Amino acid sequence: MNADDPVSDLTPLEAAAEWEALAGEIKDHDKAYYQNDAPRIADADYDALRRRLEAIEAAFPELKRPGGPSEKVGAPPAAGFKKVAHARPMLSLGNAFGDGDVIEFIARVRRFLGLDEDEAVEIVCEPKIDGLSVSLRYENGEFVLGATRGDGTTGEDITENLKTLSDIPMTIRDAPEILEVRGEVFMTRGDFETLNQEQEKAGAKVFANPRNAAAGSLRQKDPAVTASRPLSLFAYGWGEVSEPVADTHWDFLENLRGWGLPTNPLAERAADTEDCLRFHLQVEERRQDLDYAIDGMVYKVNRIDWQERLGQVSRAPRWAVAHKFPAEKAETVLNEIIIQVGRTGSLTPVAEFAPVTVGGVLVSRATLHNEDEIARKDIRIGDTVIIQRAGDVIPQVVSVILDKRPRGAKPYKFPDKCPECGSHAVREEGEARRRCTGGLVCPAQAVERLKHFVSRNAFDIESLGAKSIEDFHKYGLIITPFDIFFLKGRAVEICERDGWGEKSLNNLLRAIEERKTISLERFIYALGIRQVGQATAKLLARQYGSFKTWRDAMIEAKADDSEDYADLINIDGIGSAMAKDLIEFFDEKHNLNVVNDLDKELTVEDFQAPDTSSSPIAGKTVVFTGTLETLSRAEAKTRAEALGAKVAGSVSKKTDYVVVGADAGSKAKKARELGVETLSEQAWLKLIG
């Protein structure tokens, strides 16, 4: 066998033998590089091995194995970088897809701030750079720490790599003592093309798009490699600062430039919504001519005091929004429709098509949402379809080109059995999706629940990736989340699994050990109860305070006439459908057993309310009713919660205060009947100081 022989000359037997040899060799190099930090060959030679393996797999697809070396990503595991807790979270942005969403964004800002009609809201419009966000920390003018965004709360320390970017000054003058600058690292299209040509010449990895190239270049273990890559930066925000950075965002951008940090030259100030929309159009027209990828415009409320009042919802600020550009489209042939089974059993049809580049990214799959969507668009296997991709969202099939439909193509028949476990898949009235009724016997559901359990915003066990979960589940190493905490006893079996060695196992066991103490809100979220996302998990944690109080209340709430049920649906943000899912979850004995077992093994920390010890309304339950004059309802709620109060939707004996605005109706009356203290808006403001 000679590695230069064309793959097509190989007999199946030769191909299999060479594949086996290559896979073994790659595995050894992976171990040397990722686990022992001691690569034994040059990157280019390593990549050549991988390319040979991929070529063989392309010609002999039967050799491909799930979890085999060709499916493993080349990037070093995150474990290679030190974690950094961000002093202030790195937020993401809400999206606006059309003019209507932008109008609504500004209207919402106005409502929240309670602005008069004649008061203008100035907006700064900046291009949304398609790169990677980073945080740059300066102390006394010295660049001391650079980090990736990570999950927004914790990122990775890439200081040494960032130091190699000429756009990042190592020292700045006249800056606050502590200054965290946030910005986007990217690669220009020109630099990307040149880099790929060089990579190709060197027989090294070719990147799919500038964003991937930037990401790969930033996450290098060796800063010298990063230094050799052409990376750029636009700065646009701040994190922790020891003194105010400016009065307006616009002035802040100017300060950034003064400190030697590049900002995007296309930023503009807009006086109103129409102005924003005009800039959006203008920049979109120039989009193809720009030397860097952008995927929309970001609108930011200019006044920083207003930004502060607006605050954030979940992980996105209320004072900013990303107005995306329309999706880019492409044409391809639909080869297959596969059915994916989600964590709560819902069946999602996915289109598999001939790979095609859309908006600079090669895609071969798109979601078809549900069976009605397939019927409505009459999508058939073999059809030529138009697909689109907008930003990071999963590509979608927009329509079918009927003229190109092959003869004999039949309407798609949606399965009524779960493809994974064969159980009936039923569609309840009012539901868009069919759901597998297999529950705990369905391996697909179990695997998805496990993936959710270890995911970033839940238990965050990074080294248990999707592939390992599938593999460990298949071989009985992890059946329920509880088993994760007993992997220590299965070390020998784990080391036998592909890709696992002593070092990676030790890293995993350490990560698991660290996660044995977990906040109540993360714990609730990790359970993967239908409809219970992060925001709801937090609401529940805030309301019930401790794991046991929550669990007992959910069990008691089964009786709809119980006080616990009334309390549950009285939480502002929890409706009867969500309550039903929570109650059903606890009513399932297996679930309760797993939850109780977990409780025994773990330390679920009580909800950490912000320090409100000096707050006069800490722990009190408040109901707002009627129209408030100086505060919008949303702002009133946010402030009350920030001061440690719970905001409820209706009045009961447990309510401490009812804040009565103009034209209040039955709630004010009920408060008087129950003898609950009512306050005018002024009295309330005085109370909270």
72 to 91, contacts with ligand IVH by CB under 6 A?
91
Distance of alpha carbon 567 from alpha carbon 583, whole angstroms = 13
From the CB of 598, what's the least distance to ligand IVH, in Å? 32
- Give residue 620's identity as a one-letter amino acid code: K
Per-residue contact flags (x/-) with ligand IVH for residues 211 to 250, judged by CB under 6 A: -------------------------xx-------------
Q: Which of 31, 128, 300, 324 is catalytic?
A: 128
**DSSP-derived secondary structure for 223-249:** HHHHHTS--EEEEEEEEEESS---SBH
Q: Estimate to the nearest angstrom the gap between the alpha carbon of 539 and the chain centroid.
A: 19
* CB of 32 or CB of 93, closer to ligand IVH: 93
Q: How many CB atoms lie within 10 A of CB 234?
A: 22
Contact between 459 and 372 (Cβ < 8 Å): no
Q: Give the binding range for ligand IVH (CB under 6 A) out of 124-132, 344-352, 411-419, 533-541.
A: 124-132
Max Cα–Cα distance, the chain, nearest Å: 90
156 to 185, contacts with ligand IVH by CB under 6 A?
184
Query: 636 φ, ψ to 5°?
Result: -60, -45
Helices (H) and strands (E) in the chain, counts: 25, 26
- 92 near ligand IVH (CB under 6 A): yes
From the CB of 205, what's the least distance to ligand IVH, in Å? 24
Closest CA to 138 of 109, 110, 120, 162: 162
Q: Give the binding range for ligand IVH (CB under 6 A) out of 40-48, 61-69, 316-324, 447-455.
A: 316-324
**DSSP-derived secondary structure for 609-622:** ----TT-TTTT-EE
* CB of 129 or CB of 447, closer to ligand IVH: 129
* CB of 184 or CB of 471, closer to ligand IVH: 184
With H, G, I as helix, E, B as strand and everything else as coil, classify residue 647.
strand
The one among 320, 374, 387, 442 contacting ligand IVH by CB under 6 A: 320
Write out the E strands in 589-685: 603-605, 621-625, 646-647, 657-660, 677-680
Per-residue contact flags (x/-) with ligand IVH for residues 357 to 396, judged by CB under 6 A: ----------------------------------------
Closest CA to 146 of 138, 135, 131: 135
Residue 324 catalytic?
A: no
Distance of alpha carbon 262 from alpha carbon 257, whole angstroms = 6
The one among 26, 231, 298, 301 contacting ligand IVH by CB under 6 A: 298
Closest CA to 550 of 601, 590, 606, 602: 606
Two structure tokens written together for 612: 């409100």
From the CB of 324, what's the least distance to ligand IVH, in Å? 10
From the CB of 127, what's the least distance to ligand IVH, in Å? 6
The one among 216, 317, 395, 481 contacting ligand IVH by CB under 6 A: 317
586 to 645, contacts with ligand IVH by CB under 6 A?
none
What is the Cα gyration radius of the chain? 28
For the CA atoms of 494, 496, 497, 500, the dihedral, rounded to the nearest 10 degrees, stands at: 70
* CB of 168 or CB of 446, closer to ligand IVH: 168
The one among 47, 126, 448, 460 contacting ligand IVH by CB under 6 A: 126
* CB of 155 or CB of 644, closer to ligand IVH: 155
Two structure tokens written together for 680: 């005018």
* CB of 93 or CB of 330, closer to ligand IVH: 93
The one among 93, 206, 361, 602 contacting ligand IVH by CB under 6 A: 93
The one among 35, 70, 133, 638 contacting ligand IVH by CB under 6 A: 133
* CB of 298 or CB of 640, closer to ligand IVH: 298
Tell me the C-alpha to C-alpha distance, in Å, between residue 44 and each of 29, 32, 208: 13, 15, 17
- Total of chain residues touching ligand IVH, rule CB under 6 A: 15
Give the residue closest to ligand IVH by C-beta: 133
Write out the E strands in 544-617: 603-605
- 270 near ligand IVH (CB under 6 A): no
Enumerate the active-site residues: 128
Binding site for ligand IVH (CB under 6 A): 91-93, 126, 128-129, 133, 149, 184, 236-237, 298, 317, 320, 322
